[in-house]
Amino acid sequence: MLSEYCIYWPGFLDRDGYGQISSNKDGTLRPTRLILSQKLGRDIRKGCVAHHTCYNKQCVNPLHITEVTIKENKRDSKYQDHPNLPVIELTKEDVFLIRYVYNHHNLDGYSDTERRELLKKLVEIKVSAGVSPIPVPDFVINVIIEYKSWDYIHLPKIDRLPALHRLCELIGDKSCVFPDWIGDVSKPTSVQKNNITTSAHRKSLALFYLNDISTEKVVMHSCDKPKCINPYHLSPNVNEFLSHVLMNF
């Protein structure tokens, strides 16, 4: 059950140990406040705060966050017994994959049930120290896809490709897989590392072969979708134009 676990915020923590999204002129923006506002369906009342019933500052479990006055928050924190609940630890890659797989613009032909089963094979999470990782539970998937605060967990573009590659290994050639960063589906997209720009589909195929693809070869799409990075839809072919030039040099 969701209420029995704390869920740690995998993003930045402020100096007090609370999850932090950003700082602005009005102060620090914390995911707990966004979660509570969405849960209540309104802004947090003036003079009130987002209070942890679990007394775990890093927790972002919606069921552990309530609206109380500042006075109640101080009194409660001082006198109440602090429960020692098991902790679910997520990585940024976990969050990225859950949100990617459950976005219905991705993975054509997969039902909700199939997406969840796919995620259970793809994402294993830590539940407290010393406990073996477990397949991601449905209640964790629900929290991440329902609450907008998770939009602020960003996996760097260069790290998304290996994550999506893991997904491709599970689904094989059943579906196209497109990078989630902005771009026209009809055009190839790219990734950049060490100031070197490479097409995403070429980099994906290199990950598949565990070796860079020769520049003498072009990467062909069997799906006819230039933006697809599923290596099961890709094949390296000799660049016929370059080959002709070299043969006649």
pLDDT digits (tens, 9 = 90+) for 34-78: 999 999 999 999 999 999 999 899 999 999 999 999 888 887 766
| Over residues 96-105, mean pLDDT | 88
- Same-domain check for residues 44 and 116: yes
- Same-domain check for residues 123 and 245: no
Strand (E) or helix (H) holding 191: strand 190-193
Task: Provide the angle, in degrees to the nearest 10, between the axes of the packed helices 92-102 and 157-171.
Answer: 60
- Same-domain check for residues 141 and 195: no
Per-residue pLDDT at 72: 86
Cα–Cα distance for residue pair 144/214, rounded to 1 Å: 40
DSSP secondary structure of 153-188? ----HHHHHHHHHHHHHHHTTSS----SSS--TTS-
Using the 3D structure, point to which of 154, 180, 200 is the last residue of a domain.
Answer: 154
- Give percent above pLDDT 70 in the chain: 79
Per-residue pLDDT at 242: 43
DSSP-assigned beta bridge partners for residue 22: 29
- Same-domain check for residues 83 and 34: yes
Confidence class for position 247, pLDDT limits 50, 70, 90 = very low
Q: Which token pair is 115?
A: 């997406």
Give the residue carrying structure tokens 């707990």.
Answer: 32
- Same-domain check for residues 114 and 203: no
Q: Phi and psi for 100 in degrees, rounded to 5?
A: -70, -50
Confidence class for position 245, pLDDT limits 50, 70, 90 = very low
Confidence class for position 23, pLDDT limits 50, 70, 90 = low
Q: Phi and psi for 242 in degrees, rounded to 5?
A: -65, -40
Q: Which token pair is 197?
A: 């720009």
Dihedral class, residue 195 (left if φ above 0, else alpha if ψ from -120 to 50, else beta)? left
Task: Provide the angle, in degrees to the nearest 10, between the axes of the packed helices 112-122 and 157-171.
Answer: 110
Looking at the chain, the number of H-run helices and the number of E-run strands are 8, 12
- Same-domain check for residues 46 and 148: yes
Per-residue pLDDT at 123: 95
Is pLDDT at 121 greater than 90 in this prediction?
yes
Cα–Cα distance for residue pair 1/139, rounded to 1 Å: 7
Using the 3D structure, point to which of 154, 183, 202 is the last residue of a domain.
Answer: 154
For residue 70, the enclosing domain spans 1-154
Number of domains in the chain: 2
Using the 3D structure, point to which of 154, 182, 203 is the last residue of a domain.
Answer: 154
Cα–Cα distance for residue pair 120/21, rounded to 1 Å: 27
Q: Which token pair is 182?
A: 């902005």
Per-residue pLDDT at 145: 94
Per-residue pLDDT at 27: 60
For the chain, the first-to-last Cα distance in angstroms comes to: 70
Largest CA distance in the chain: 86
Per-residue pLDDT at 65: 96
Q: Which token pair is 29?
A: 């923006």
Per-residue pLDDT at 186: 46
